[in-house]
Amino acid sequence: MIPARQLLQSQLSAPLPEHPELVLVTDLDGTLLGGASEERRSFYRWLAEQRERVLHVFCTGRDLEAIADVLREDEPLGLSAPHLVIGDVGCTVACGASLLPVPLAVDPIDARWRDLEAPLAALLQDQPGLKLQPCSSNRRLAYYVDLELFDPGVIEQLEAAGATCVLSDNRYFDVLPAGVNKGATLLALLEWLEADHAAVVTAGDTLNDLAMFETGLKGVMVGNAEPALVAHLPSLPSVYRAQAAGCAGIAEGLRHFGFDHLWD
């Protein structure tokens, strides 16, 4: 039987660090992409310098096309492709270098979604307060939401039909296969990586990061986190609330968790 990490590596177009001292899992908007330009530039430079010691994972609501846009747009600040990507709020896993999906992770989600998409879309057709986002994902339904018009009662119907629903940043509404979210996909990925959970730190700022924080892994809730996420902080003992926003908040959290040596 092929070891899980070897199987994962065989489906990637670029090698992973052999023995990373840190697995850093970061949301994008408001987190890795948050903060002043100089703070971001400094943090991105550090990530590039520590590429063999820090295995970096994007964990975002963006689809692969939008992630490619981020890498192009932020290249002048020095942002490099991560080693791995969790996109579409947990519905996609891809190689960071090529942004090609990883069959090991994506195929089971595809199989679960295949019979769900049509009935879920029918439930949401003509629902007030929803507008489809222009996403390319085939494993979720992604909407912009107007909470003043949206009827939250439809969530119970969607869940009964086999969906997980995620509201975040007061403007995004994602409908995913039941049991799929950033946290569940991250835990599966860490199992394939054979990663030591003590070496993992997550970072985020909105409600779609809650499932990631609920894994019990070390977490950094950056200083600009949305109030609805901050309200969950008392029930998240493994999560550190940073004072600083964005990249500076991630760096503050890493120091809090004892990864100062990586700055040496």
Question: In which band, very low, low, confident or very high, does the pLDDT at 14 lie, cut at 50, 70 and 90?
Answer: confident
Q: Give strand pairing partners of 220.
A: 203, 240
**pTM for the model:** 0.95
Q: What integer is the mean pLDDT of 184-210?
A: 97
Percent residues over pLDDT 90 in the chain: 88
In percent, the amount of the chain with pLDDT more than 70 equals: 98
Give residue 108's pLDDT: 95
Residue-wise pLDDT for 120-131, tens only, equals 999 999 999 999
3-state secondary structure string, the chain? CCCHHHHHHHCCCCCCCCCCCEEEEECHHHHHCCCCHHHHHHHHHHHHHCCCCEEEEEECCCCHHHHHHHHHHCHHHCCCCCCEEEEHHHCEEEECCCCCECHHHHHHHHHHHCCCHHHHHHHHCCCCCEEECCCCCCCCEEEEECCCCCCCHHHHHHHHCCEEEEEECCCEEEEEECCCCHHHHHHHHHHHHCCCHHHEEEEECCHHHHHHHCCCCEEEECCCCCHHHHCCHHHCCCEEECCCCHHHHHHHHHHHCCCHHHHC
Which residues make beta-bridge pairs with 56? 24
Predicted pLDDT at 62: 94
Strand 172-177 to 163-168 pairing: antiparallel
Nearest to 60 by CA among 204, 172, 191, 171: 204
Residue 115 has pLDDT above 70, yes or no: yes
Q: At 255, phi and psi to the nearest 5?
A: -65, -40
pLDDT in the model for residue 247:
97
Per-residue pLDDT, 118: 93
Quick check: 264 pLDDT over 70? no
Q: How confident is the model at residue 13 (pLDDT cuts 50, 70, 90)?
A: confident
pLDDT class of 245 with cuts at 50, 70, 90: very high
At 140 the pLDDT is 95
Q: How far apart are CA 80 and CA 71, in angstroms?
A: 7
- Average pLDDT estimate for 235-259: 98
Q: Which domains does the chain carry?
A: 4-109+180-263 (3.40.50.1000), 113-177 (3.90.1070.10)
Sort strands 172-177 and 141-145 into parallel, antiparallel or unpaired.
antiparallel
The pLDDT, as a whole number, for residue 1 is 63
pLDDT for 155 beyond 90: yes
The string of pLDDT tens digits covering residues 214-242 is 999 999 999 999 999 999 999 999 999 99
pLDDT at 148 over 70: yes
Contacts of 182 (CB under 8 A, 6+ apart): 59, 86, 89, 90, 204, 208, 209, 211, 212
Render pLDDT for 42-90 as a digit per residue (tens, 0 to 9): 999 999 999 999 999 999 999 999 999 999 999 889 999 999 999 999 9
Number of neighbours of residue 133 by Cβ within 10 angstroms:
17
Expressed in angstroms, the distance from the first to the final Cα of the chain is 40
pLDDT digits (tens, 9 = 90+) for 77-91: 999 999 999 999 999
Cα 4–chain centre separation: 21
